[in-house]
Structure 1
């Protein structure tokens, strides 16, 4: 047992020396190709066996000169086979790595990526799949950025037009009053007040939308009932509905408890009702209903606008979108529905629109307040 322990010790010392030499070689070749590293690994395995054998032989005189030559030749043949295998494996891995590098060159230009056809190791194949997934996410992000940029340019154009028109009217009316040529000053004053109120509403909407996009919308949620929110919103919209000859229908509204910012949610309902009233012809009706489930409450506003073109449905909640080419009042700045979506999503809810017979239905989904 002592001889075996001594043999194991000398074999371990020889193998450790070969391993340390391999570590030094790998450190020196750390910036070289993978094939060089594989060759070093193969050489370490062969040299560790040779060093262990020679150290035991020299220390304990277990072999004569002839046996030592035989062992040396055997180890040399093993070394040649190991080196050849390492070279072949290194060339294969290097080819897969070069193919992946060539495929990745186009990644930063157009965001597309196609996996190389060269067979690769499992690690390189996994890396290639990750690049494909990153390319898909990058393409989707660029598409969203293009859509947001187009929406932003459209919004700026519409806002500029909507601001220029009332400002020009205000300038003309103030000049007429200043020159004393206004035949009915009281009417001019009333018109100026109305235009100022409309401009103030536009600025308020822009400020609200900027807070939503910046993520600085501050909510103060309180437990309330959808029945109360709908009742307050309908009461606030009665005058506008009467002016346009539109009937407001209070469909069954369940007293579903929700935790929302009452002020912001009242703004959501007001925007939906104003939008529905403006697009419903005289004699039509706007209906509001609310239902609740175990986890979600649904609040819907249905109008008689005749429906929205299917191609336009995905853009209804985009900032600045108004569904037509009209850019004059009372078209507005097209911010109301964008604000609706921002506030509802800030409450962890969802909003969508669908066409129904004779009109369209805006549907909000909000979490039900826990008991």
Structure 2
């Protein structure tokens, strides 16, 4: 008898379950409320079918059978009613969440719907809040980058027009024979060569900066000593320092390793030193130091520029920024790209770069993880 009851109930339940799954598949694109209602109907129908089958065929007869069927029918209706109420609440909560998303303003400030939500929808609302926060941050970065691009175009356009206009005037003077004495002709040729070198350096900086912004900077890290890195950087700018009358000093322990791309990190350090020399007055000093602790190495470049206004400090590494209120640029000024390139190279090494006012000028500092075996 027990086996027969189990067989009949399982058979009817299987048939109803297959029918229910078929209906759910057909309604898979419909509202979650409809799907919950189908699930409730399938559950109640399977229970009712089993009870009715057993009642009609095997166990109960007469008035008790009518009572059982009535109770089961009422229980089924109650179950379906509760399922419909729950489905309606879930649908209402879902619509509140959809409305909150549709009402997100152009500023991407997402306001989660008020009132209680089911746990899953509350999790979705929290995830949406975080996603919109990331979108806001991305938009702010994009706007800042776009502003930097515009500023860069303005700066570079100015810096390109000035030397090109001078070279055109000198070339026209040479072509027209306005200048024919040997000394002036030689001076014009030297000036044209210097301007061409400057423009080539500017184009090289623009190419490097575009690689950094595009994420195309490819590093070839290896274990290098900071002493050699500092020595190479100082040797490369020694002529500029002598011409400016600035003293260069390097203070680096002989063995202080770092895992980095020597060429790119050397360029970043050289940009900082060149920047320091350009803004240090004659007879001033530029000091390059290297220090380390257990996990970090630091390269610092201290100058005698007279300091940077506090309001300008956060913008020092922006593209094309020139703190002319604190640093009056001379004829050898760059295009304002050196510090932005240095920051990009340092960040590509998973390091950090900062600047503070200190003593007679300011101090730029590069922080990098200490050398370890390659991963």
- TM class by smaller structure: over 0.9
| C-alpha spacing 1:177/1:116, structure 2 compared with 1 (3 Å) | same
Separation (CA, whole Å) in 1 of partners of 2:37 and 2:369:
62
Per-residue CA distance 1:176-223 (angstroms, 9 max, x = gap): 111111252111111111111111111111122222223333333343
Residue 173 (structure 1) shift: 0.3
Instruction: Flag structure 2 segments of 5+ consecutive residues without an equivalent.
Output: none
Separation (CA, whole Å) in 2 of partners of 1:211 and 1:224:
24
SS in 1 for 2:3: helix
Task: Report the equivalent of 1:91.
Answer: 88
More off after superposition, 145-154 vs 312-321: 312-321
Task: Report the equivalent of 1:5.
Answer: 3
Equivalent position to 2:355, from 341, 345, 353? 353
Q: Is the 1:106–1:112 Cα contact (8 Å) retained in structure 2?
A: no
Task: Report the equivalent of 2:55.
Answer: 57
Separation (CA, whole Å) in 1 of partners of 2:252 and 2:16:
85
The alignment status of 1:111 with 2:108, answered yes or no, reads yes
RMSD over equivalenced CA pairs, Å: 2.1
More off after superposition, 135-144 vs 83-92: 83-92
The alignment status of 1:369 with 2:371, answered yes or no, reads yes
Residue 51 (structure 1) shift: 0.6
Separation (CA, whole Å) in 1 of partners of 2:208 and 2:187:
32
Separation (CA, whole Å) in 1 of partners of 2:125 and 2:161:
53
| C-alpha spacing 1:169/1:38, structure 2 compared with 1 (3 Å) | same
| C-alpha spacing 1:97/1:228, structure 2 compared with 1 (3 Å) | same
Residue 133 (structure 1) shift: 0.3
| C-alpha spacing 1:48/1:367, structure 2 compared with 1 (3 Å) | same
Q: Is the 1:46–1:75 Cα contact (8 Å) retained in structure 2?
A: no
Task: Report the equivalent of 2:79.
Answer: 82
Equivalent position to 1:36, from 26, 30, 34? 34
Q: Is the 2:56–2:65 Cα contact (8 Å) retained in structure 1?
A: no
More off after superposition, 83-92 vs 258-267: 258-267
Q: Is the 2:313–2:355 Cα contact (8 Å) retained in structure 1?
A: yes
| C-alpha spacing 1:280/1:328, structure 2 compared with 1 (3 Å) | closer
Q: Is the 2:291–2:299 Cα contact (8 Å) retained in structure 1?
A: yes
The alignment status of 1:298 with 2:298, answered yes or no, reads yes
Q: TM-score, normalization: structure 2?
A: 0.91
Q: Is the 2:279–2:329 Cα contact (8 Å) retained in structure 1?
A: no
Per-residue CA distance 1:42-70 (angstroms, 9 max, x = gap): 2222222211112223443x221422221
Instruction: Flag structure 1 segments of 5+ consecutive residues without an equivalent.
Output: none
Task: Report the equivalent of 2:230.
Answer: 230
Residue 108 (structure 1) shift: 7.7
Q: Is the 1:246–1:286 Cα contact (8 Å) retained in structure 2?
A: yes
